[in-house]
A and B are shown apart, each in its own frame.
Chain A
């Protein structure tokens, strides 16, 4: 089983749609979680940290489910500019490891 698993998509959605991505992780002792956004031929940029209580930033909501070992990202009212690859990141204990999911490609169309 991969340490972090993420549906690569692509997800094709119309503007205004709500879309959700999940990411599962195998190490139950993992301690910090993040979502990054990466545009084509650019570096990954932090979108949100994921907290145990869940957190929201505008149209974006991130949640952590430790019991089922997954994190989620919900995007409401999708914009054309949301088209990108979304990478989940999990930090398991030991060794400064930062593990990326494979990335989910999102295409928002007019």
Chain B
């Protein structure tokens, strides 16, 4: 069982819809991440939050909007997505970092499989 919980597991949405992906962890980790993964490709970093503050935005289009309400929750708000945004969206958390270097492994949630029609 994963210690990072993501909901929903599957999501189908139209290009005009607004939806949100949710992620929760109770391990006390202070860094949380959103990754996007296409088939047969490695995970691709989207956003990093450290101590509830956005630390990295990897030039992600504004139709993806992250939010970190508290140290245990991470959301990804979706609006006006394109079919090419269909992918597995993975949330992860990590415990330790020295300065701005991640030194402990990432713990991933099960992911949300998103299909944009």
Name A residues whose Cβ lies closer than 8 Å to a Cβ of B.
31-32, 34, 41-46, 49, 87, 89, 91-98, 100-103
Contact across chains for B103 and A43 when beta carbons are under 8 A apart: no
Q: How far apart are B22's CB and chain A's nearest CB, in angstroms? A: 15
Q: A43-B111, A45-B108, A98-B106 are known contacts. Are A87 and B42 too (CB-CB below 8 A)?
A: yes
Q: Is B2 an interface residue (CB 8 A)?
A: yes
**CB proximity to A under 8 Å, residues B9-58:** 31, 33, 41-43, 45, 48, 50, 55-56
Q: How far apart are A91's CB and chain B's nearest CB, in angstroms? A: 5
Q: How far apart are A73's CB and chain B's nearest CB, in angstroms? A: 15
Q: How far apart are A97's CB and chain B's nearest CB, in angstroms? A: 7
Contact across chains for A102 and B110 when beta carbons are under 8 A apart: no
**Chain B residue with the shortest CB-CB distance to A49:** B105
Q: A96-B50, A100-B42, A102-B42 are known contacts. Are A43 and B102 too (CB-CB below 8 A)?
A: no
Contact across chains for B42 and A98 when beta carbons are under 8 A apart: no
Contact across chains for B90 and A43 when beta carbons are under 8 A apart: yes
* Seed contacts A43-B109, A91-B101; 4 additional CB < 8 Å A-B pairs: A49-B105, A93-B100, A94-B101, A101-B42
**Chain A residue with the shortest CB-CB distance to B2:** A43
> Which chain B positions have C-beta within 8 A of A31?
98, 101, 103
Question: How distant is the Cα of A49 from the Cα of B33 in the complex, in angstroms?
Answer: 19
Contact across chains for A97 and B45 when beta carbons are under 8 A apart: yes
Contact across chains for B97 and A96 when beta carbons are under 8 A apart: yes
> Which chain A positions have C-beta within 8 A of B79?
none
Q: Is B77 an interface residue (CB 8 A)?
A: no
